[in-house]
Homo-oligomer: A and B are copies of this chain.
Amino acid sequence: MRPSGRSTDQLREITLETHVNKYAEGSCLARFGDTHVLCTASVDPGVPGWLRNSGRGWVTAEYGMLPRATDGRTDREAARGRQSGRTQEIQRLIGRSLRAVTDMSAFGERQIRLDCDVLQADGGTRTAAITGAYVALYIAFEHLRRLGVVEKVPLSEEVAAVSCGLFRGIPVLDLDYAEDSEAGADANFVMTASGGIVEIQGTAEDVPFTREAFDHLMELAESGIQRLTEVQRAALGELGGAA
């Protein structure tokens, strides 16, 4: 029934390729099917002004999309001179999501900047970005651990994200663009490996949806997140360490 032939609770093929950038302290190319997001984690020696002398660090994120990541070309935000509301909304979400599992008091007055750049978009770029950014962030902390800056990686557990939606009235997991563009409702879930909720964003596309439908979406999300955190663990496990 789904355009891709997937079953309703089936994720796209997920790969999390690490060490894809020779400069970044942590990096990960997250692929959710044809959605490809390059995530880097950069350790910056200072913190924003309002944290100076607090002894605490910070994690922040920026999001971008290459102009031809999409089917029709999108204007380059740097050329237009401003980031769209959508971009700002997404990068704020990524930052909040990763901060929710990070111990800010454990790595000194440093800022870790996550850059999530979409090379190709086929739906779910923000969920791929969060899932990949966790891996990049982990590797950056692992780098700080090897340098002796932290004793252990200050991440409480894995965090990942997935979207669910009502496609022709049926709840389905991990929408691709073909589904997303005609979905009746679309919800993004950011959750931890142990099932903790970090962020929920659900939107009716055309008409309001019911609480029952929403509960179905959340169940699909819980199972999807479970599998995503396993993929994260596998990608990091090869490095000899996981949260």
**A residues lining the B interface (CB < 8 Å):** 21-24, 27, 34, 38, 40, 42, 44, 62, 64, 66-71, 73, 76-79, 81-89, 91-92, 96, 100-101, 113, 115, 117, 119-120, 156, 185, 187, 191-192, 195-204, 206-211, 213-214, 218, 222
The docked-state distance in angstroms from the alpha carbon of A40 to that of B120 is 12
Chain B residues with Cβ below 8 Å from A68 are 21, 23-24, 27, 40, 42, 115
Within the complex, the shortest CB–CB distance from A42 to chain B, in Å, comes to 4
Say whether, besides A81-B82, A82-B81, A214-B200, A66 and B115 are in contact (CB < 8 Å): yes
Is B200 a contact partner of A76 (Cβ separation < 8 A)? Answer: no
Chain B residues with Cβ below 8 Å from A38 are 66, 119
Chain B residues with Cβ below 8 Å from A120 are 21-23
The docked-state distance in angstroms from the alpha carbon of A40 to that of B66 is 10
Chain B residues with Cβ below 8 Å from A199 are 202-204
Contact with A92, one of B44, B62, B89, B115 (Cβ below 8 angstroms): B89
Chain B residues with Cβ below 8 Å from A204 are 100, 196-199
The docked-state distance in angstroms from the alpha carbon of A96 to that of B31 is 29
Contact with A78, one of B64, B113, B195, B207 (Cβ below 8 angstroms): B64
Given contacts A81-B82, A192-B208, 5 further A-B contacts (CB under 8 A): A73-B115, A76-B78, A81-B81, A196-B204, A211-B222
Chain B residues with Cβ below 8 Å from A201 are 200-202
Say whether, besides A203-B199, A204-B100, A44 and B73 are in contact (CB < 8 Å): yes
Chain B residues with Cβ below 8 Å from A195 are 210-211
Within the complex, the shortest CB–CB distance from A203 to chain B, in Å, comes to 5
Is A117 a contact partner of B73 (Cβ separation < 8 A)? Answer: no
The docked-state distance in angstroms from the alpha carbon of A197 to that of B204 is 7
Within the complex, the shortest CB–CB distance from A243 to chain B, in Å, comes to 14
Chain B residues with Cβ below 8 Å from A214 are 197, 200
Is A76 a contact partner of B89 (Cβ separation < 8 A)? Answer: no
Is A42 a contact partner of B208 (Cβ separation < 8 A)? Answer: no
Chain B residues with Cβ below 8 Å from A89 are 85, 88-89, 92
